[in-house]
């Protein structure tokens, strides 16, 4: 159940990034969503140990892991967009 929450957090962050960085291109929508989900998983693996001890049950819902997923997705989307704009203007 927790993994589903991470995926949803990544999709929401990818959708928000697509709306905020509206560059007029619709073909990038799937890319934003995919990078958001990837960033959510990376955020949970890297940031959640910094926030506190891991949950005893990995299937249990944890607000800390959800926040870690949202932060990770946001950072991954931010840096991914910076890199793409730098090398593919």
Tell me the residue ranges of DSSP E strands in the chain. none
Query: How far apart are the C-alpha atoms of 46 and 27, rounded to whole Å?
Result: 30
- At residue 56, the pLDDT reads 47
Model confidence pLDDT, tens digit, residues 21-66: 665 555 567 777 888 888 888 888 887 777 666 554 556 667 777 7
- At residue 52, the pLDDT reads 65
pTM for this model (two decimals)? 0.75
Phi and psi (nearest 5°) for 19?
-75, -40
């Amino acid at each position: 159940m927790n993994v589903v929450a991470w995926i949803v957090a990544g999709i929401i962050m990818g959708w928000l990034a697509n709306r905020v960085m509206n560059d007029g291109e619709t073909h990038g929508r799937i890319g934003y969503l995919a990078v958001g989900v990837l960033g959510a998983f990376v955020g949970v693996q890297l940031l959640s140990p910094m926030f506190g001890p891991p949950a005893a049950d990995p299937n249990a819902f944890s607000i800390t892991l959800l926040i870690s997923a949202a932060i990770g997705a946001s950072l991954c989307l931010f840096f991914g967009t910076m890199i793409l704009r730098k090398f593919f203007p």
